[in-house]
Amino acid sequence: MTAQPRFHLLRSVLYVPGSNPKTLAKAPTLPADGLILDLEDSVAPEAKIQARHNILATLHATRDHYPGARVVRVNGIHTDLWRDDLAVVLAGRPDAIALSKVESPASLERLAAAMREIAPDGMCALWPMIESPLGVLQAHAIATHPLVSMVVMGTSDLGRALGLPGDPERIGLRHALQQTLMAARAAGRGILDGVFVNIRDPEGFLAECHDGARLGFDGKTVIHPAQIEPANRIFLPSDADAETARRILDAWNQARARGEEICVVDGKLVERLHADQANQCLSRWKNAQKRDED
């Protein structure tokens, strides 16, 4: 089985603690393009068992009408909790399982083998989180696992592992961000930027979203509802971008009808690759309009 990306738009993906029923009930009503229902860092040890059942109830409640991705982050493969996590939540048919601190394809294969054993008819995609130097170095091997559909950056843990000071420009993370993004793209996978933890710094969040968009990330993982709308807006072509894309495609199609491979739009040379980029831009813009209407 090879994971196929079911969701064409993941501008914002919200972490939701599995131990908080009120937050779990509210999260599907928010405009995030996806939810990561969390059993790991945000859940206290004594709350893990109840959190599994809370998440299962949320998966059942959202299965037929929630338009976004429903992802469950299980506890790490180094713990004795992840198998029990899977045994409960796979019954809710999540769209993907996220796994933290992945450093090799072997971790994903252990997870996949357990999924086949527990729910052979309920296999789903995997979202490995890259949060360590070794994970960055192994990113391409991880991303090429056949069940992987999305790679997620864990920038907080990665920064700590690298011994980096707080830096709004993320200079120390630059190489890791670019290498992991390149690995994901080489494997044909999507990739999400890490979280911005200071919810009282909206300007800092905006700056980091713009940085991630310029680097080429598909979207951003977020930890607070107030971060959703800015991420949705920034990781999306603007109306002006969409209009430019339409004009490029119109001119290109007219050129092709004449048997030509190039044309000029706004003084710029347009070749096939630019037409492909315009088509991707317009498709992404249209998907966003539909998602926001839903």
Range 59-85 average pLDDT = 95
Tell me which long-range contacts 46-55 makes (C-beta under 8 A, separation of at least 24).
47/19, 48/75, 48/81, 48/85, 50/19, 51/17, 51/18, 51/19, 52/18, 52/84, 52/85, 52/88, 52/89, 53/88, 54/18, 54/19, 54/20, 54/21, 54/24, 55/18, 55/24, 55/88, 55/89, 55/92
* φ and ψ of 165, to 5 deg: -75, 165
Whether 162 contacts 134, CB under 8 Å? no
Which pLDDT does position 280 carry in this prediction?
84
Hey, what are 119's tokens?
Answer: 């729910």
pLDDT at 5 over 60: no
What is the CB-side half-sphere exposure of residue 195 using CA atoms within 13 A? Answer: 18
As beta bridge partners, residue 65 has none
What φ, ψ does residue 39 adopt, rounded to 5°? -110, 0
**Of 94-98, 176-180, 286-290, which gets the smallest average pLDDT?**
286-290
Mean pLDDT of 154-159: 96
Structure confidence at residue 288 (pLDDT): 78
pLDDT for position 11:
96
Convert 256-267 to b/e letters by CB count within 10 Å (16 or more is b). Answer: eeeeeeebebee
* Contact (Cβ atoms closer than 8 angstroms) between residue 37 and residue 21: no
Question: How far is Cα 19 from Cα 37, in angstroms, rounded to an integer?
Answer: 10
Mean per-residue pLDDT of the chain: 94
Tell me if residue 121 falls in helix, strand or coil. coil
Find the largest Cα–Cα distance for the chain: 69
What pLDDT sits at residue 3? Answer: 55
How far is the C-alpha of 172 from the C-alpha of 162, rounded, in Å? 8
pLDDT at 114 over 60: yes
Only one residue has tokens 């088509």, namely 279
Local confidence band at 237 (pLDDT 50, 70, 90 cut-offs): confident
Give the pLDDT mean for 210-231.
97
In terms of Cα–Cα distance, which of 259, 235, 263, 267 is closest to 249? 263
Query: What is the percentage of the chain residues whose pLDDT exceeds 70?
Result: 97
CA-based R_g, the chain, Å: 20
Angle, helices 105-118 vs 82-89, to 10°: value is 40
Q: Give the number of residues written for the chain.
A: 294
